[in-house]
Structure 1
Amino acid sequence: MKIAKASLISPDHNFWYGFVAITISVFVLAYSARFGQVSVLAYYALWLPLVLVDYRHSLGNYARFYWIMAFGVFACMSVFWSAAPGVTARAGVQYMSHIVCALIAARTMNVRTMTLGMLAGVFVVVLYSLAFGRYHYDPLDGNYSFVGAFSSKNQLGFFSSLGIYFAFACLFILRERGLGRLLALSGGGLSGYALIASQSATSIIATAATLSVMMGLSLILLFAPRTRKAFLAVGLVLALCVAVIGLNFGGMDLLLGAFGKDATLTGRTYLWAEGLAAAAQTPVVGVGYYGYWVQGFAEAERLWEEFYIDSRTGFHFHNTYIEVLVELGVVGLLLLSIVIARVPAGHLIRLLNDRDNAASHVMFGVTLMLLVRSFFEVDVIHPYVIGSFLLYYAAGLLAASKSVRRPVFPAAYRDLRVRHV
């Protein structure tokens, strides 16, 4: 049987392949630590063979992606000065190959396929966690929290946040109907329940902030392009004023108190101080990618013991920028900051100039969520995690020369329409 190339690599004709590939990828990136190497190989098998189908279309001109890949390349180069070169070499190759898979997805899957695939994937991930999950006692805050099939409530909260956001995007940006709308309602509802069950303050705050900004942006987009920019500038100034007032008059303490947190963010501020102290030892290029949290290294062992991490794995400084400073220094921080800042800013600029750009509309929201979370979590600097996949997918769309406009009814749901009632 001969399969047309377009059904695999053309964004306008490969909906079903893309939908399945993204759904499986989300599940693998959620539970790769649980299911091991076989699941990672399945992830590679979904994306890398597309290069063999049509390498020009799948890869494109990678010189255009220099600013996207610079951080990953530098992470691989850090093997030459890493405190744990073997660990760095393996993790660096994994991260670079993960970036390549995300960029292949950006060139072969349109934003509608990504949105519906993400919704289906998160639905399966959350359903699996609800079916086989467990509660975990946190000795730092003295509470039990539902972590699902993950090792942390924040990971369950993150996937739940993504389910809620992509349900919002499906209903209010892409304006899906039929089975697409049903998927959004069921996936969003289940994700909302899991988010509340996880009691992840970071995820709840990031979700609320993202949806608030997106709803405000939807109002701004009703005006002419020049007026939109003026309203956006005023909104940024007001947001900054509210943030300053809140920090100076106890607003942060009230917000944290609502989630049962104290001013130390359950030990995060101490962890940040330890990270900054470690970064000061090798400030320019760091200790090497994945070169700090290594079993047998004295400082890592001390922090694992202080924070009751019996597994001695899967821990970090709970701040993306401090984590990068420790591992890759100021150089690595600069390279990553370019990606984290440029991607949401670039999609926002495109959207302000063309409100029908569905890709930029959806991707701005999800990268904004990643940006908010980056101050309290580490979502985008590790291989085989959904945060880095989404960031580099959004970056790949931004680097593409063509913009993706919002589909017009009824084409927006032609692949999921109900033929018979």
Structure 2
Amino acid sequence: MNIVSRIPTDRDSSLVMAKVYEEPRKIPYWEQGLISLWFLNSFVPLPLETPLRYLMVLWFLWLFALHKEQVIPIMLKAWPLFLLPIFGLISVLWSPYMGAALRSGALYLLTPFVAVIIITRFDISTILRCMFFAGVMAIIVCVPFYDTMPYGGPYPQKNYFAQQMLFVALLSFMTLLNEKSWPWTRMLAALIFPIALIFMLRAPSATALVFAAVGIVGLFAVKFVWVAISKVRHLRTIIFILGASVILSGAMIVLNQTNQTYLTDFLGALGKDTTFTGRTHIWAAGNLAAQEHPIFGLGLEGFWNPANGAAQSINEMDFKPYGTKLTFHNAYLEVRVHLGYIGLGLYLLLWAWCGYRLFRQFFKESSLEMSALLVFGAIVFISTLTESFAWASFNTPLNLLYLGALATLSPIRRVFVSRVPVYLNSPAGYAKT
């Protein structure tokens, strides 16, 4: 109970109006262990990865059957997450590879479905803690691959490996800064944080390095600056508006300098060129493919298939073996090629909803958890411009994005019941009702 007011009644007692809360259910450790295993399955390739994933999906379906009264209302509130996967599943009707499209469509639809079930059964603090534990286990799995980390280690490509280690580093740093974390988990985070950074640096990904610097500075600033200034009314809003004004003014100045080479210089400092390591050639091929079916697209799995000559031509340009399944290194182009302008519109709606939720939660609570979720969402959003990870199924970026946007919809929290009168009969606070 939280005492909010005290009314004197006589010399020896007082009438106090107290708030009564219903405490959330305690989450069993075995459930937390299973969720950590689920996140590990998306963090790093494991032996028997696919059978384990299907078994976990069956468990989530069982949870849905048991708790559908709680899950369905949250699904209805999170409807923008489901429109694009549903349209993708419908695209089976015109995809040239119906079997592969049906499987991909089911996985795309299950991804937000599982996220809703997780947020129904767990609060966001527990979810982030389980993700941190999954990251710790991923570090252990990656240790034997130390020599091959510059080529991706256990992952098919180095960029994805660097991004996964980036998320482990930021989850560790957030746990280290969070005073609400268990003491032993903060000690573990202090150990894992530098190891994750070292592993990330082993893969020569300048993008991950920039994200790491921005993420660490952002979390540090929220912990020691943002929370402090939140005590001054309207100061955060003023700072946000001033910051946005500075960014927009800087962008206008740069864009008006027609002979500027800022982008080239910046990319050069990161070890890149203006083709973004050959991505512009793949983007050009993707634009040509998208123009063939501009409204509905080719359908899921309609482009990246060994039987598709255009896809194999890109493999040859990228010096990849025949049959390698590549991506367009751009989530928006990926959606546009496979699901056309209708799919692209639904994807932009999904991002608008997630962005609105992340910013709303951040300004409403400004806790370290909400700040970290906003940082993760920003990283995933920026990655959509050069990678296709955010248009996939059951991976770490999507877990962080969807669960972050759903964070405050979790019913696992302390709930206010009512105010009740309480008599205090002694200075020590002995109470009777």
Q: Please list every run of 5 or more consecutive structure 2 residues that lacks an aligned counterpart in the other structure.
A: 1-22, 416-433
- Residue 293 of structure 1 corresponds to 304
Q: What's the CA shift for 1:301?
A: 1.0
* Counterpart Cα distance in 1 of 2:89 and 2:408: 24
* Counterpart Cα distance in 2 of 1:404 and 1:22: 22
Q: Pick the aligned partner of 1:307 from 318, 326, 347.
A: 318
**Conservation of the 8 A alpha-carbon contact between 2:120 and 2:412:** no
Q: What's the CA shift for 1:36?
A: 4.3
Q: What's the CA shift for 1:114?
A: 1.6
Query: More deviation in 38-47 or 272-281?
Result: 38-47
Change (3 A) 1:41 1:353: closer
Change (3 A) 1:62 1:87: same
**Conservation of the 8 A alpha-carbon contact between 1:161 and 1:207:** yes
Cα deviation digits, residues 221-271 of structure 1 (max 9, x gap): 423453212211221232344456667643332332233221111101121
* Counterpart Cα distance in 1 of 2:146 and 2:323: 21
* Counterpart Cα distance in 2 of 1:172 and 1:45: 36
Two-structure CA RMSD over aligned residues (Å): 2.7
- Residue 191 of structure 1 corresponds to 196
TM normalised by structure 1 equals 0.83
The amino acid of 1:368's aligned partner reads: A
- Residue 281 of structure 2 corresponds to 270
TM normalised by structure 2 equals 0.81
User: Superposed, which structure 2 residues align to 1:13-412 within 5 Å?
Assistant: 13-14=26-27, 16-32=29-45, 35-132=48-145, 135=148, 145-173=150-178, 175-217=180-222, 219-221=225-227, 222-223=229-230, 224=232, 226-242=234-250, 249-310=260-321, 312-356=323-367, 359-397=369-407, 399=409
The amino acid of 1:124's aligned partner reads: M
- Residue 4 of structure 1 corresponds to none
* Counterpart Cα distance in 2 of 1:112 and 1:81: 42
The amino acid of 2:191's aligned partner reads: S
**Conservation of the 8 A alpha-carbon contact between 2:86 and 2:109:** yes
Query: More deviation in 165-174 or 207-216?
Result: 207-216
Query: More deviation in 45-54 or 299-308?
Result: 45-54
The amino acid of 1:135's aligned partner reads: T
Change (3 A) 1:113 1:67: same
Q: What's the CA shift for 1:332?
A: 1.1
Change (3 A) 1:117 1:400: closer
Select the structure of larger CA radius of gyration.
2
| 2:29 aligned counterpart, secondary structure | helix
* Counterpart Cα distance in 1 of 2:371 and 2:220: 11
Q: What's the CA shift for 1:132?
A: 3.4
| 1:148 aligned counterpart, secondary structure | coil
* Counterpart Cα distance in 1 of 2:382 and 2:168: 17
* Counterpart Cα distance in 1 of 2:382 and 2:62: 34
Q: What's the CA shift for 1:186?
A: 2.1
**Conservation of the 8 A alpha-carbon contact between 1:256 and 1:263:** yes
* Counterpart Cα distance in 2 of 1:234 and 1:403: 35
Change (3 A) 1:16 1:165: same
The amino acid of 2:312's aligned partner reads: E
**Conservation of the 8 A alpha-carbon contact between 1:133 and 1:147:** no
